[in-house]
Amino acid sequence: MDISKLKRRNEFLWEIEKQGEMLVPGWIFADLELIKEMDEKVYEQLSNVACLPGIQKASIAMPDAHWGYGFCLHPDSEVLMDEGFTIKIKDLENVQSRVLVFKGKKRKKLCSASIKKFFKVKPYNRILKIKTDLGNEIIASEDHPFYTQHGMLKAGKLKKGDLIATYLFRGVCCSKPSNRVIVNEKLVLEKLESLGIDRKSFRARLIITKLKQRELLPLGYNHPKISILIKLVGFLFGDGSMNFIGKRRDGILSFSGKKEDLEIIREDIKKLGYTPSPLHRNGKEFVVNASSLLVLMYCLGVPLGNKSKQRMRVPAWLYKAEPWQKRLFISALFGCELRKPYPRKDKKANFSAPVLTVGKEKKLERNAYEYLNDIKNLLNEFGIKVLYIKKHREHKAKDGTVSVHIDLVISPSTENLIRLYEKVSYLYNSERKWLADIALAYLRFKHEILEEKEKVIPVVEELLRKGESYRSIAKALATANPISERFLMDMCWKISKGKKDISPLVPKTFPTFEDFVRERTKGLGKSGLVWAKIKEIKEVDYDEEFVYDLTVDDEDHNFIANGFVVSNCIGGVAAFDPEENGVISVGGVGFDINCGIATLKTNLTLDEVKPKIKELVDELFARVPAGLGRRGEIRLSREEQFEVMKEGAKWVVEKGYGYEEDLDYIEENGRVDGAVPENVSETALKRERGQVGTLGSGNHYLEVQYVDEIYDEKTAKAFGFERNQILVTLHCGSRALGHQIGTDYLKILAAASRKYGIKIRERELVCAPINSPEGQRYFGAVNCAVNYAFANRQVIAHLSREAFKKVFPDAELKMFYNIGHNTVKVEWHDVDGNKKRLYVHRKGSTRSFGPGREELPKAYREIGQPVLIGGTMGTCSYVLVGTKEGEKISFGSVCHGAGRTMSRHQAKRTWRGTELVKLLWEKYGIYVRAHSMPGLAEEAPGAYKDVTKVVDVIHNSGLAKKVIKVKPLGVVKG
């Protein structure tokens, strides 16, 4: 985060000063290190929350805050990846390829970035279809940002005629390569012998070793580095060469070109594990001294030595490659050899035919034709037509050697050039690539105009048959350019006279290519992007179940979908006064309503439990259902569902899942008033069935812990803690019921926001006035999920007791505290000296009242509220105590955990669940049982912030005070 935007109020409090439409400032609790790590969007979202009606004091983010994201695109939207292929956004959940990003803030160029997060959600607002005058279109939700001349604007703010950034190169659709091997050790040894190197020699063994060290042998179609190698093969067929030189016969590969292009090639070579030389010859050449790389390229079909003096064909293995891999070869070759796009001066809006020329000695003329026919066959696979292949000229050198130059000429028709520049284009040649990108846009612009004219011709013919006059037809059909009255009158005359050639032409006002470049690339540099004019934008019916979005690991936060540059879309506290038109918001509560933590104290010690930890965790694993969609032992009828939603933990205790005294140590005694089951949808009720007493998946867990450190002896004693005492902590919420309630009310509150004229800046901030029918309806549904979550944690707590009793018959487990951290509650707070009744939203935030509050259990009323802050699997957790100072500053609220720094998808790419289980047991003595190994990897400790740093901010800022630190012995995960 750019901290220059923030005012530092003290060491741990940063302020976004009130500005624009903000009603209050935004506060972030963090130290210098944590504030720098936070995403810029935390700043933006805090500012947006601060604009909501009736907000009090400040919008507040805790040190574990992380950015929430929007979901905006149709599932079939094609996202452009950096390897030149597209993947539908719905298929990107488990894809490791990098996306293309437009660096619009500084460099005005395209770069690549990794995908950090993948999201899908049911649409909640209007869905729009946008079409441009360059022919591309996209379906997106109205809140999805697009890159315009005025920066990122949401689709709902765009209108016909607005200019929007587009990048029309599409490459080809992605397809999964086979695992077939292209180069193995046997082939390398055979090629070495053909080069005069004994397969048993030290040099042969060294070359094999070097390739294996770089993990380039064996090499298959699905090798992680195959894309780089294919591009280099294509370049070496063009402006590169390789040979053995000198007495030692060092393998040297030479690359020639422009400096900026050669630097890209050098970076690719480094990715293979080789070291290229610096640029020389005024930055026009570099070499790589690496016999192993030369031999690998030779195995891949690259000619050795002067290409004009030897036979060469497109490598046979390439024909079995995927289309996107073939495209890499052709594009890299074209970057060297295919003429750049060149507009014709004698024929407006047309380009000269692209030509690829091969020079060979006269005796190899036939091979030149064979090679160019190979290229022609590859182009045919992309629908690109070659006009002809023929000899261009012969040349006789001074030494009498005759050489021939053979041309492959590509059809310059508009449709053919569009396919060429849209699917293949150029690689390793930024100037030609940029020209091709702009030429593609220009030709698409031309094509759209001509197509529009073509469509009207049958209509004109039909009206003429009906006897309509030229003038009446022209007036009825004219829509200004390109369907002008003049064009229609001319078309009527040609059809009436029986003219055969009535194909429309571009209008005289059609811009030259130079004018198009000047007008359509202003402010976009040589990125290849152009400004497209919105031709149509309209609301459409949406039949798909979900809309999708990505977040990427780049400061510009965008990617390219269907040719459009689109943006990828916090835990905190906000309190609203209903007497000041305050609102209630889905985003302020979250979807896992009343997700929370319950901790039980035991009469056991570390020394007693550690020897039996495996047996104990196995028993817990067997008794407590966990995992996505898992069902528990309690099956509720419709009437019982309503009872649980109204009575909460009290209902399950009465059914034998716990003791009466447990209720004294649950927030709100395990039940809030105001639950209205009738406000919960049938879908939510169906999804709930059988989930009371289940952990669920994600970051939910059940841990056996021990007290590791005591910071406040007096409070620890009052809470009943001793060093090395065994505790049990569980983390879960309202399961599918809460999630469905959140999803259902996104649409309901979105409509309410529009109805009551509330300006919404973030999709999840849809809201309704607290006192409105919609607001109270949502509050009644939320309270149902709150009570359900209290019941859920109570059942799991009691199942844990039974598991302990099985392993330790004398074990006693007493409820210490059970509290939620995704809630909205009615509380009294002091605001500027006035007592106010507020609706306090805590999303990923835990209540932390100080001493004296009546809401606290009697046993803790004089001490302060216990605050439970969970760590991550394998790390410590904390118990703190609330303070009166914290009540004054943050409405008695603190963080709830560590906060993610890495997406679940990225975590799964970084760690394997089985490896984590082994590491945690062998290195830390923590025994883990999980229902899903990929799910376990998602929750790796490295995917989260350091919980100790987060807790230290809370402690040092006075919001709450540390009491004890606990460490895990055993973990049960979904």
Residue 49 has which token pair?
A: 């929350």
- The pLDDT score that the predictor gives to residue 743 is 82
For residues 310 and 289, what is the distance between their CA atoms, to the nearest angstrom? 23
Judge contact between 965 and 706, C-beta under 8 A: no
Angle (CA) 637 640 644, round 5°:
140
* Burial (CB count within 10 angstroms: exposed 0-12, middle 13-18, buried 19+), residue 381: middle
**DSSP for residue 351:** B
- The pLDDT score that the predictor gives to residue 68 is 44
Judge contact between 926 and 971, C-beta under 8 A: yes
- Per-residue confidence band for 942, with pLDDT thresholds at 50, 70 and 90: low
Distance of CA 940 to the CA centre of its chain: 19
| CB atoms closer than 10 angstroms to residue 553 | 17
Q: Which of the following is catalytic: 896, 905, 931, 955?
A: 896
**DSSP for residue 649:** H
Cβ neighbors of 310 (< 8 A, separation 6 or more) are 303, 304, 364
**How do residues 383-416 score in pLDDT, each as one tens digit?**
999 999 999 899 988 888 999 999 999 999 999 9
829 is an active site residue = no
Q: 3-class SS at 439? A: helix
Judge contact between 372 and 359, C-beta under 8 A: no
- Residue 71 pLDDT more than 50? no
For residues 297 and 211, what is the distance between their CA atoms, to the nearest angstrom? 11
- Per-residue confidence band for 572, with pLDDT thresholds at 50, 70 and 90: confident
Give backbone dihedrals phi and psi of 156, rounded to 5 degrees, phi first.
-65, -15
Instruction: Calculate the dihedral angle through the C-alpha atoms of 329, 335, 336, 342, rounding to the nearest 10 degrees.
Output: 140
Q: 3-class SS at 731? A: strand
- Residue 2 pLDDT more than 70? no
- Per-residue confidence band for 625, with pLDDT thresholds at 50, 70 and 90: confident
- The pLDDT score that the predictor gives to residue 904 is 47
Pick 78-161+546-552+561-567's CATH classification: 3.30.390.50, 3.30.1370.60, 2.60.40.10, 2.170.16.10: 2.170.16.10
Judge contact between 626 and 695, C-beta under 8 A: yes
For residues 333 and 330, what is the distance between their CA atoms, to the nearest angstrom? 5
- The pLDDT score that the predictor gives to residue 371 is 98
Judge contact between 168 and 439, C-beta under 8 A: no
Distances (CA, A) of 933 to 39, 922, 923, 936: 29, 17, 19, 5
Judge contact between 229 and 329, C-beta under 8 A: no
In sequence order, what E strands does 325-380 have? Answer: 355-361
**DSSP for residue 549:** E
- The pLDDT score that the predictor gives to residue 125 is 66
Q: How many contiguous H segments (helices) and E segments (strands) does the chain have?
A: 28, 42
- The pLDDT score that the predictor gives to residue 552 is 77
| CB atoms closer than 10 angstroms to residue 105 | 9
Is the pLDDT higher at 366 or at 896?
Answer: 366
- Residue 372 pLDDT more than 70? yes
- Residue 67 pLDDT more than 90? no
- Residue 908 pLDDT more than 60? no
In CATH terms, the superfamily for domain 590-973 is tRNA-splicing ligase RtcB (3.90.1860.10)
Q: At what angle do helices 430-465 and 470-477 cross, to 10 degrees?
A: 130
Q: How confident is the prediction for the chain on average, in pLDDT?
A: 90
Long-range CB pairs of 208-216 (<8 Å, 24+ gap) are: 210/290, 210/291, 210/292, 211/292, 211/295, 211/296, 213/273, 214/272, 214/273, 214/274, 214/292, 216/272, 216/273, 216/296
- Residue 866 pLDDT more than 60? yes
Among 103-107, 599-603, 792-796, 900-904, which is the least confidently predicted range?
900-904
- The pLDDT score that the predictor gives to residue 571 is 55
Instruction: Give the residue carrying structure tokens 């005024």.
Output: 282
pTM of the model: 0.61
- Residue 698 pLDDT more than 90? no
- Residue 184 pLDDT more than 50? yes
Judge contact between 548 and 73, C-beta under 8 A: yes
- Residue 194 pLDDT more than 60? yes
Where along the chain do its domains lie?
3-61, 78-161+546-552+561-567, 430-519, 590-973
Share of the chain above pLDDT 70, in %: 93
Judge contact between 12 and 957, C-beta under 8 A: yes
Mean pLDDT for 437-457 is 95
* Alpha helical stretches, state H, 598-694: 606-609, 613-623, 638-647, 649-654, 682-688
Among 357-361, 722-726, 905-909, 929-933, which is the least confidently predicted range?
905-909
- Per-residue confidence band for 501, with pLDDT thresholds at 50, 70 and 90: confident
| CB atoms closer than 10 angstroms to residue 196 | 8
Judge contact between 620 and 702, C-beta under 8 A: yes
For residues 644 and 657, what is the distance between their CA atoms, to the nearest angstrom? 13
For residues 705 and 620, what is the distance between their CA atoms, to the nearest angstrom? 13
**How do residues 308-356 score in pLDDT, each as one tens digit?**
999 999 999 999 999 999 999 999 999 999 999 999 988 889 999 999 9
Q: 3-class SS at 906? A: helix
For residues 935 and 950, what is the distance between their CA atoms, to the nearest angstrom? 24
**DSSP for residue 929:** E
Give backbone dihedrals phi and psi of 121, rounded to 5 degrees, phi first.
-155, 160
* Alpha helical stretches, state H, 279-322: 291-299
- How many angstroms separate the first and last alpha carbons of the chain? 34
For residues 397 and 359, what is the distance between their CA atoms, to the nearest angstrom? 13
- Per-residue confidence band for 794, with pLDDT thresholds at 50, 70 and 90: very high
Q: Identity (one letter) of the amino acid at 21?
A: E
Distances (CA, A) of 737 to 538, 551, 638, 680: 35, 27, 14, 9
Is the pLDDT higher at 264 or at 65?
Answer: 264
- The pLDDT score that the predictor gives to residue 73 is 82
Give backbone dihedrals phi and psi of 673, rounded to 5 degrees, phi first.
-75, 165
